[in-house]
Structure 1
Amino acid sequence: MEYSPERALEIILNNINQCMGFQFEETCKKFLQENPDLFGFTPRVIGKHWGRVPYKKNESYDIDLVAYDEKNILFGECKWSNKKVGLNEYKRLLLRSEYVNTGNRKKIYVIFSKSGFEEDLLSLQSENLYLITPLNMAEVYGI
C-alpha cells in the first residue's frame, strides 16, 4: 500500500470533529469536577447516562453528563460544533432528562458549546440552566 499524504489529511479532517467531541466531553466533565461551587452542589457521582426511550422499543438516548448528590441532579450536553446551540438542543435535553428517575432531586441543566449559543437560548439562562463556552471555562481558570 502506498502512503498518500492527501488521503491521510482527508481522513483526519473528516474525523477530527468526532475525536474533538469526545475530548470536549472529557474536558467538560473535568470542569464540573473541579468547579462544583459554580453549580451549587458537589456531585457524589459524575458520568454519562444512556438507555431506551420508554414505549419506543427501537429508540435509545444518551446524556453526555449526569452528576448528582442526595438533593441535586445535573444533566449536561457537550456540543463541539461550528454552529451555535439553540433552544431545540435545550428542549432535547429536557426531554431526555425525563427518562431518568430523579426522585425529589432539584434538576439543573448545563450546556457546553464550542461556538456559543443562540439568543433564544441565552434569554433562558438561569440558576437552573448554565450555558458555558470554552472562553467561560478559561475565565474561571484565570486564563
Structure 2
Amino acid sequence: MYIDTNTIKDNYIRFWFKFVYPYKSYIESEHIDFVLDKIREGFIINHVAYVYEDICKNQYLPQLIIKNTFGFTPTKIGKWWDRKDTEIDIVATDNSNNIIFGECKYTKKPLDVNVYYDLLEKTKKVNWNKQNRNEYFVFFCINGYTEKMQNLAKQNSNIVLY
C-alpha cells in the first residue's frame, strides 16, 4: 500500500505513515533498535524539515503580514514548483502585482547568501505577473544567518530575515 505522506496535514499521522507503518513488522518482531536507526537516519530531512516549512508558511509568515512587514496583504499563500526539479517553499501574492518568495531552512549552519541567489534564479521560472511585479523575499532559518546574509538584508528593503 502506498500512502502519499505529503498530502497528510496532521504531523503525528504523517510521522506514523513515514516511520512506523513501513516498519510495523520489525516493531512487532521486537527489532526496535533497527527501526529507531531508520527513524534517526531520515527524521530531520524527511519529517522535521517539512514540519518546519509548514510552521513558517502557516504561522511565521502570517505574523509578518499582520505586522505589515511587506506593506501589502497577500490573498494567496502556498508553495510553487515546476514539473522538473524547481521548488519554492513559499509564494504569496495579492490581487495587485506584489509577490513574496520564501525559503525555509532547517539546517545546522546559518543561512548564507547563496540561498538568496538560488531563490532569485528560481523566481525567474515563475510567470505570475512576471513583467510587472514587486518582489519581496523572506527567509526562515532555524540557526540564523551569516554576516553576509544579514548585510545583504540590511542593504535591500525587500529582503526579510525571520
Partner of 1:60: 85
Q: What's the CA shift for 1:33?
A: 2.6
Corresponding position: 1:90 with 2:121:
no
Corresponding position: 1:10 with 2:37:
yes
4+ residue segments displaced more than 3 Å: none
**Counterparts of 2:36 and 2:142, CA distance in 1:** 23
Normalised TM-score (structure 2)? 0.72
Q: Deviations over 1:27-69 (max 9, x none)?
A: 11112234312222111111110115xxxxxx52010000011
Gaps of 5+ in 2: 1-25
Corresponding position: 1:114 with 2:110:
no
1 or 2, which has the higher helix percentage?
A: 2
Gaps of 5+ in 1: 53-58, 133-143
Bigger relative contact order (CA 8 A; separation at least 6)? 1
**Counterparts of 2:64 and 2:135, CA distance in 1:** 18
Aligned-partner residue type, residue 83 of structure 1 = K
Aligned-partner residue type, residue 94 of structure 1 = L
Identity over the aligned pairs, expressed in percent?
35
Aligned-partner residue type, residue 82 of structure 2 = G
Matched position secondary structure for 1:13: helix
**Counterparts of 1:60 and 1:16, CA distance in 2:** 22
Superposed CA RMSD in Å reads 1.5
**Counterparts of 2:147 and 2:119, CA distance in 1:** 18
**Counterparts of 2:69 and 2:54, CA distance in 1:** 18
Aligned-partner residue type, residue 74 of structure 1 = I
- One of 76, 93, 96 as aligned partner of 1:45: 76
Normalised TM-score (structure 1)? 0.81
